[in-house]
Structure 1
C-alpha cells in the first residue's frame, strides 16, 4: 500500500506520474532522451543498463519494467537480461557493454566509486565519451527513479505479462506515450 493517497490504481511510477503529471513530464523526457534518443548504444543496451541498476537497487517495479523493455529490444530477449542481472561477468555480452555495466554498477553504489580504471577499461573496450556520459546519467537517473518508486511504496504487479504489455507501448510509442 502506497505511503500517500495517490488517487489511482496504477502500478509503480505510473501511479506517481498520474498523481503529479507536472513532474512526470520532465522525468519522461529524460527517459526518452537517455533510453530512446539518438545514440551509438542500442535501445536494448540502454534499457539493460536501467534494468541492471534497478536490480542492484532492489527496485522490483523498475527492474521488472526495464527488464521487459530491454528484452523486447534485444534479439536474445529475457534470457540474456536474466543472465546479466544474475551474473554480469559470466553473461554472454560484448566487453564494451560489460564495461559500461560495471561503470553503471559503480555509480549505483556511489558516484565516487567510479574509478579511473573503470573508465579506462570501458574506453579500451571501445566506449566513447558520450557512451560513458550516458551510462553514468542513466545509472544516476535510475537511482532517483528507483528511490521515488520505492520511497512512496508504490504497488508492484507480480505478473510478467503486465510488464510485457507496457514494453509494447514503450517500444512503439516511447516514454511520452505513458
Structure 2
C-alpha cells in the first residue's frame, strides 16, 4: 500500500508522477536524455544499465521495466538480459559493457566506490569518457528513481503483461511523450478545451 494516495491503476513511478506532475516532467526529460538521446551506447545498453542498477537495489518495478525496455531494443535481447540478470560476467555482452556494469554497480553502492582502476579498465575495454560519464549518471539517477519508488512504497503491477505494454510504448514514443501527457492531462469527458 503506497504511503501517499496514488491511482492503483498507475503502478510504480507512474502513480508518483501523477501525484506530482511538476517533478515528474523534469525527471522524465532526464530519462529521455540519458536513455534515448544520441549516444555511443545504444538505447538497449543504457536501459540495461538502468535495469542492472535497479536489480542491485532490489527495486522490482524499475528492474523489470528497464530490463524489458532494454530487451526490446537489442538483438536477442531477452536472452542477453536474462544472462546479465543471472551472471553478468558470463553474459554475451562486450568487455566494454561488462566494465561499465561494474562501474554502475559501484556507483549504486556509493559514488566513492568507483576507483581509477575501474575507469582505466573501462577505457582499456574501449569505453569513451562520455560513455563512462553517462554510465555513472545513469547509475546515480536510477538509484534515485529506485529510492523514490520504493521509499513511497509504489504499487507493483499485478498484471504480468504491464511491463511489456509500457516498454513497447517507451520504445515507440519515448519518455518525453509521457512527460507531455502528465503535464497536459486529457480533458474530462464532456469538457471543452
Q: Normalized against structure 2, the TM-score is what?
A: 0.90
SS of 1:41's equivalent?
coil
Distance 1:69 1:52 in 2: 12
Which residue matches 2:36?
Answer: 36
Which residue matches 2:49?
Answer: 49
Which residue matches 1:17?
Answer: 17
Which residue matches 2:189?
Answer: none
Which residue matches 1:112?
Answer: 112
SS of 1:174's equivalent?
helix
Moved more, 58-67 or 6-15: 6-15
Provide the aligned C-alpha RMSD in A: 1.0
Distance 2:82 2:106 in 1: 20
Distance 1:56 1:167 in 2: 20
State the number of aligned residues: 178
Distance 2:123 2:158 in 1: 39
1:89-114 CA distance string (max 9 Å, x none) = 11111000110010000000010100
SS of 1:4's equivalent?
coil
1:61-72 equivalences under 5 Å are 61-72=61-72
Greater gyration radius = 2
Residue 7 of structure 1 and its aligned partner are, at CA, apart by 4.6
Which residue matches 1:97?
Answer: 97
Residue 160 of structure 1 and its aligned partner are, at CA, apart by 3.8
Distance 1:6 1:139 in 2: 26
Which residue matches 1:140?
Answer: 140
Summarize the Cα distance change of 1:160–1:44 in structure 2 as closer, same or farther, 3 Å threshold.
farther
Q: Check the 8 A contact 1:57/1:143 in 2, yes or no.
A: yes
Moved more, 45-54 or 85-94: 85-94
